[in-house]
Chain A
């Protein structure tokens, strides 16, 4: 067979990709089946959202601030500083905000889910749920993936807003711009059509971070070392997937628009 000629590392990539795809298909098969874990979903919403607000907010602020600050000396010689709000707005909302926040969430939330479920697997807690007929996939995986799919887009919108505010403060370091004028210029550069792509891709980011974290944790091997491996590989794979989804989203958006 052709698979026998593939190097081991390539085979592992294919097997991992198939594993995540198969795990995702199980999610879609089971997501509408009862029991529905509303309390667990709300708990995960809180864990994922509330506990990431600080990190995502600070990161967003710095990105917006630095982006505007870098743009000022570049555009000032051409007398084009009035274009900075539009440039900052487009850059943050279409690209930098979602991708950077996606990567931050892959690190913080992906590793947390991978380590938590990995630890539950190693200490036989997932097996204990399984043998008590409690369907751990339904309870643990579906609640977490729903929570990341809905909460990460909200975190990205929040980060975008803070980043735009950071951009406004950076502009006020060198010139006096009213907040009304700044945001009018930001939103003049954007239309509803151009926002659809970035919004849709954030759901893909959220789903990917949740499903990869759950997959790696749920399938962790025995031993405490596996918890670290699950957390680490969750971050690596979901970060890579965020970049890949972003590339695909840009291509599709360009074709459509």
Chain B
């Protein structure tokens, strides 16, 4: 497999809502297997960029090529075909609250594949095991905690074996322990399913754990790009401000977490 194959290629993306221009000139390339973390203040358009990639929001101009197809040019049927290869993890988990966990996980497979009921049930059990929530299979979303909902949201996404994962603030609103668990879950999914990912987050603990590369969004465009260590020593005050919080926690061992899970250990670099 070509390691440098580009799976997402965004050029000169622009998006306004009324008179408010959110994205001015977004340019971003993501290679197969790569995990990019997007940093930026609230309301700068990080989630809008993700929604443009998956076709939920139509850009004003520019190209958004996913697996070689320009999303804004696709018909609804073509877009549905591409969407089967993209997983989108919502901030809230977005579980269907009238369905149990089992039904939530069965739903995309029953709608999009010809798998038998037995095969679907096997896949449901497999992905629930992957996210460590096998015991929650018959629970309703209202019975789950915030972290569990996010894990089930991840399971519902990976059950379709996507080539690309888009994570919209996967750790927002969670305590540091659960943040660490979700971040390691992202790494595990990354390694096991070989997906390319964009992770939108403000959380530097999560960024440090999951990122191959970090890009910084400011004033509607990406201003900086580099590894965690490169950006941590950046001269730019705006970029450094994201790292200040995590420096204070450096002795708290959260960012230096070593998993006790042997599978997780073997998956880490």
Residues of A within 8 A of B (CB): 35, 116, 120, 123-125, 127-135, 139
| Inter-subunit contact A131/B86 (CB<8 Å) | yes
Selected from B81, B92, B112, B156, the residue in CB contact (under 8 A) with A124 is: B92
A244 to B98, CA, bound (A): 34
Question: Do the beta carbons of B107 and A134 come within 8 Å of each other?
Answer: yes
Residue on B with the closest CB to A127? B56
Check B108 against A134 for contact (C-beta < 8 Å). yes
Chain A-chain B contacts (Cβ-Cβ < 8 Å), number:
59
CB-defined A-B contacts under 8 Å, sample of 30: A116-B98, A120-B96, A123-B92, A124-B91, A124-B94, A125-B94, A125-B95, A128-B88, A128-B95, A128-B153, A128-B156, A129-B96, A130-B56, A131-B54, A131-B83, A131-B88, A132-B84, A132-B88, A132-B108, A132-B112, A132-B156, A132-B160, A133-B81, A133-B83, A133-B84, A133-B108, A134-B107, A134-B108, A135-B80, A135-B111
Q: Which of B54, B84, B94, B108 has the most CB of A within 10 A?
A: B94
Complex CA distance for A123 and B88, rounded to whole angstroms: 14
- In the complex, which residues of chain B have a beta carbon less than 8 angstroms from the beta carbon of A127? 56, 90, 94
Q: Do A35 and B111 have beta carbons less than 8 Å apart?
A: yes
Contacts of A135 in B (CB 8 A): 80, 111
- B-chain residues with CB within 8 Å of residue A124 when the two chains form the complex: 90-92, 94
Q: What DSSP secondary structure best describes chain A's contact surface?
A: helix
Tell me whether B97 is interfacial, beta carbon within 8 Å: yes
Assess A134 versus B56: contact at CB under 8 Å? Given A123-B92, A125-B97.
Answer: no
Q: How far is the CA of A139 from the CA of B111 in the complex (A)?
A: 9
Closest A-chain residue to B54, C-beta based? A131
**B67 CB, min distance to chain A CBs, angstroms:** 14
B160 to chain A: which residues have CB within 8 Å? Answer: 132
Chain B residues numbered 56-89 whose CB sits less than 8 Å from any CB in chain A: 56, 80-81, 83-84, 86, 88
- A139 and B99 CA atoms in complex are apart in Å by 14
Using C-beta atoms within 8 Å of the partner chain, give the interface range for chain B: 20 to 34
> Given contacts A128-B90, A133-B84, are A123 and B97 in contact (CB under 8 A)?
yes
The winner among A130, A131, A133 for most chain B CB atoms within 10 A is: A131
Q: Given the interface contacts A127-B56, A127-B90, A128-B90, does A133 sit within 8 Å of B111 by beta carbon? A: yes
Residues of B that sit less than 8 Å from A by CB: 54-56, 80-81, 83-84, 86, 88, 90-92, 94-98, 107-108, 111-112, 153, 156-157, 160
A134 surroundings in chain B (CB, below 8 A): 107-108, 111-112
Chain A min CB distance to B195 (Å): 15
The answer to whether residues A133 and B97 also contact, given A124-B90, A124-B92, A127-B56 and a CB cut-off of 8 A, is no
A131–B112 contact, CB under 8 A? no
Q: Are A128 and B96 in contact (CB under 8 A)?
A: yes
Shortest distance between the CB of B198 and any CB in chain A (Å): 14
A123 to B160: give the CA distance in the assembly, Å.
22
Q: Which one of A116, A124, A128, A135 has the highest number of Cβ atoms from chain B below 10 Å of its Cβ?
A: A128
Chain A hits for B92, CB < 8 A: 123-124
What CA separation (Å) do A123 and B141 show in the bound complex? 13
| A219 smallest CB distance to B (angstroms) | 14
Contact call B97/A132, Cβ cutoff below 8 A: no
Which of B54, B81, B96 contacts A125, CB < 8 Å?
B96
**A123–B112 CB distance below 8 A:** no
Provide the bound-state CA to CA distance between A135 and B77, in Å. 10
**Contacts of A125 on B, CB cut-off 8 Å?**
94-97
Complex Cα gap A99–B2 (Å): 67
What separation, in Å, do the CA atoms of A159 and B97 have in the docked complex? 33
Q: Which of B55, B83, B98 contacts A132 (CB 8 A)?
A: B83
Which chain A residues lie closer than 8 Å to B56 at the CB level? Answer: 127, 130-131
How far is it, in angstroms, between the C-alpha of A72 and the C-alpha of B15 when the chains are bound?
Answer: 69
B94's contact among A116, A128, A139, by CB below 8 Å, is which? Answer: A128
Give 5 new A-B contacts, CB below 8 A, not counting A123-B97, A125-B94, A132-B112: A125-B95, A128-B90, A128-B96, A131-B83, A133-B112
Name the distance in Å between A224's Cβ and chain B's nearest Cβ.
Answer: 13
